[in-house]
Every structure is written in C-alpha cells, then in structure tokens.
Homo-oligomer: A and B are copies of this chain.
Amino acid sequence: MIRMGVIGYGYWGPNIVRNFSSVDGSKVVALSDLNEDLLKKAQRTYPHLRVSTRSDEIIGAADIDAIAIVTPVFTHFELAKKALNMGKHVLVEKPFTYTTAQAEELIELAEKKHLKIMVDHTFLYTGAVRKIKELMDNGTLGDLCYFDSTRVNLGLFQHDVNVIWDLAPHDLAIMDYLIKEKPTAVVATGQAHINGLEDMAYITVYFPNKIIAHINVNWLSPVKVRTTLIGGLKKMIVWNDLDPDEKIKVYDKGVDVKTTNGVHNLLVSYRSGDMWAPQLEQGEALKLMAETSVGCMGNGKVPINDGAAGLRVVKMLESADKSVKKKGEIVYL
C-alpha cells in the first residue's frame, strides 16, 4: 500500500485525491495547500485527511511513500527535488517542469535515489488514445503522414504561462506516445493580445519520413474544439473528444500512388470506402493512470508516463516557446 501525500488542491487536485484514494494499492494520507478554505473543503469530504498549509510537513512526513505535486508549473522543480531528496516517489502534474534542464536533473536524481518520477499525462490512459495507439501499432493506418490537433476554447488566462504551456502539453504528450519517430524541429507562430502572454499559437513539429504534426491552441475561441486528425496512407482517423458516443472514426480513405512502368509518371488515385467507429473502453483515464503509477512505484516497471516522457514534452514546449517569440524561426531539437 503506497501512502500518498498530495500538494495542491486547486482545479485538478481534488481529482488526484479522489483517484489515489479509490484505487487499490494506494491511499491518500495528507494534503497541503496554501489556501486554508480549500483544505477545509477537502476535510469535509475526507475527514480522515491530515492537512497543512506547509508543503514541507507533507514532503517530510515519515508515513508517506510518494508525493503528488498538483501545483503551478513554476513550483514543480523545487517541490519534486525536495521530495526525491526525502526519499519519496513523485508524480508531477503536467507540464513536468519549466525547463529541460530541470527535467533532466529530476530524472537523474530519481535514478540515483532509486525512486520513481512520473508525470500526469492522463490522456495516454483514455480509451481513445489507447485505441488509436493500437490502430497505429498494428499497421491499420499504414505509413503515417500527419498528426493535426486543435484544442481551442474561451480559456482561463493563466498569469504565469502562455497558451502553449497551458494547452499544448496534452497534444504533445499524446503525439509523443503515438508517433515512434523522434521529432527533429519545431516552428511556432502565435500572438499575445491581452496580457503579454501568447493566447493563441500554432505549432508545427517536423519528423523524419515526411511525417508532420501541427497543434492549434487558442484561449480566445468562442467554441470549444478538441479534434485530432491522424492521416495514414491506408486509413485516416478523426478523433473528436467532445463526441459523447463516437469519439474515434476510422476512414477507409486515402491515396493510392502508382508509378507506371519505366517513366516518372505518377498516378494518384483516391480511395473512399466505409467509415468505422470502434467501441472504446470505458473507465476513468485518471484512475487508470493512478493505478499504473502506483503499481510502478512498487514493482519497478516503467510506465508510459515516466519522467523521460515528461522531458520530451518539455523540450518541445520550450522549443515552441522559443520559436513563437522569434516569429516562426525553426528550432532544432
């Protein structure tokens, strides 16, 4: 039984507490937040929880095996470092850290201490992403051409990070999980309209083998969109995460290319066949992430949401941020 301490009870913290409380293999024993009202609210639901406004009390407690850090990104590094140094496993909310240097340092420290450091890339555990992964790995899509994701809504302006750091971690983590090739470069454009932080951005990620990815994130959209297109030469996927019933549609559409004998005569023809919406596994993704993460703390296995995955995402975020500041200048990874 892993005894968890949770730091942060804002927007996402309650979900972390609820899930680590309910899965087999872990229980939440202590919670810290700077806001006393939030602590009181937590205790109404979980009267047994030990609470504190001082995170050090949680991090240092002898009866705690692992720390979940659910605080703003700029605090991740210091808190995670402390926790590792106190001998605790760590799960960090995404994005992992604010710099690749920080991410690398945490990964090294965890290895040295024989501890686990993981990142809450919840989306990797959804039925949708798992089904897409299966369809890509078993060759259904054929050679991959592109990954194109749109994640826009009228968003809560963050005061410390721009829209890239706020919304793109989801898409980059998913993309990193699905695509085997390693990205080579990033180009990002965008604009800050309100408070000096980019509120919309367009991120292109180049891969080998003609694969290209694009991520559109926007805090100023009047409508909420969560749509990802994944195009292969054999089949193509449209994933609409807002569709309650048919999130994943697989299209038997594509392009057939024939080079006729001897000459450079390219014949491009189109295929248009049936569409198919596979049944997805139900179940809360966060619960599965919690279960898997807790399991890996015990058994030494490496989860798909390990520190290395977190680092790869931070590297792309950092590069996109750098590129957007220079109006689309390419940043090689």
Contacts and interface: CB of A to CB of B under 8 A. Distances in A.
Contacts of A272: 154, 279
A185 interface: yes
Nearest to A218: B148
Interface stretch (A58-66, A74-82, A223-231, A311-319): A223-231
B222 A200 contact: no
Contacts of A327: 185, 187, 206, 330
A18 to B, nearest CB: 10
A245 interface: yes
Interface magnitude class on chain A: 35 or more
Contact of A328 (B154, B191, B251, B330): B330
Contacts of A222: 229, 231, 236-238, 249, 251, 253
Q: Which of A189, A233, A276 has the most CB of B within 10 A?
A: A189
B330 A270 contact: no
Contacts of A268: 157, 194-195
A249 B275 CA distance: 9
A99 B266 CA distance: 26
A189 B214 contact: yes
Contacts of A195: 257, 266, 268
A190 interface: yes
Contact of A275 (B45, B152, B277): B277
Interface of A: 45, 47, 145-146, 148, 150, 152, 154, 156-157, 185, 187, 189-195, 200, 202, 204, 206, 210-212, 214, 216, 218, 220-224, 229, 231, 233, 236-238, 242, 244-246, 249, 251-253, 255, 257, 266, 268, 270, 272-279, 327-330
